[in-house]
Amino acid sequence: MKGIRFERVYKSFNHEPVLQNLNLEIPSGSFFAILGPSGSGKTTLLRLIAGFEQPDKGRVFVGDEDITDVPPHLRCVNTVFQNYALFPHMNVFDNVAYGLMLRHVHQDIIKEKVLATLEKVHLARYAYKPISQLSGGQQQRVALGRALINQPDVLLLDEPLAALDFKLREKMLIELVELQDDLRTTFVYVTHDQLEALTVADYMAIMNEDGQVEQVGTPMEIYEFPITVFVAQFVGTTNILYGTVIQQDNIYFLDITKVGRFVLPMPKEQDWQIEGTQLVMSIRPEKIEVSLRKLDTYQNYMKGTIEAIIYHGRSTQYNVRVLPDLMMRVFRQNEEHSTRDVVTYDDIVYLHWNSDSVVLFKE
């Protein structure tokens, strides 16, 4: 297993920059997710690792080896594509064995390695079944097996679950995590699906539309402590509020015009500990408590009117209108069976939260 390093990589297509001065390190043996909107350069990153594209500037390393100019077939890197790219005229065994056949490996070794690989991807009993008779999830496992048979240092996965339905996608995500944990091969997983990235990743990178990395960290770090407004809004759902810092009796507040003053966490850094500083406050919907009366156990509250109630199964979302141009979203976990909500449409409600539930950014 080997890590990957991008050093000052620049890549453009038709004079339009896709990646700009990119520096990124992917730890050895990790399950690393790259998450970003369409056009952010996620797939281009994968193609640079695989050797299907070369950077205009900068270098790409696998381990300590500079692979920038190494041809694709000489890199110890394999790719699982979104459409799987299986050979329809071959059965499962021959699809997985294909890479070994090209290298003229002895038939006995091929059989041993293929059957061992099929065991790992739970396809041993389908070894001689035609590809056309497999389900989408089974075909995805064949593609994984074919990519893993040569024991690559790095496995690249380009939105490999996009063609699967939701239930099967959930199942395959867990299987991918277990497979990577067993193999300890470096997996690089590209997706635009936040849930997928948060589920599989040991570490993840968030890319913006300008082809730059906004933040790298564990899923918990990215979700709980985003360092930019873009990351806070792109990963999960959040409420964004704009205001001005004021101080009273050694307590810091965010003053939001027409809404109120809200207690802020004590600053760990000094850069916003000045009255008049313009701040952006992010509050995740699940960190807000909604009720019909004001609760004294919270530091902050605001009033609004229930405008929409959306049932998600595991949780219920409440859209609360505070001002004509300010809608707050609240998630409440559905912990008990109930056919009736405590609050309902057009109710005037209180939204509560504590200062340690917010994340702050400078404008």
pLDDT of residue 270: 57
Binned at pLDDT 50, 70 and 90, residue 169 comes out as confident
Binned at pLDDT 50, 70 and 90, residue 133 comes out as very high
Q: Of all residues in the chain, what percent carry a pLDDT higher than 90? A: 75
Judge contact between 219 and 49, C-beta under 8 A.
no
Residue type, 91: N
Q: What is the mean pLDDT of residues 126-154?
A: 91
pLDDT of residue 32: 98
Range scoring the smallest mean pLDDT among 82-91, 138-147, 217-226, 331-340? 331-340
Express the helix, strand and coil content of the chain in percent, nearest 5 each.
25, 35, 35
Judge contact between 229 and 58, C-beta under 8 A.
no
pLDDT of residue 340: 57
β-strand partners of 77: 154
Q: How many angstroms separate the CA atoms of 122 and 274, rounded? A: 59
Q: What is the mean pLDDT of residues 267-277?
A: 72
pLDDT in tens, 192-229: 889 899 999 999 999 999 999 999 999 999 999 999 99
pLDDT of residue 341: 62
How far CA 356 is from CA of 225, 237, 247, in Å, comes to 11, 18, 17
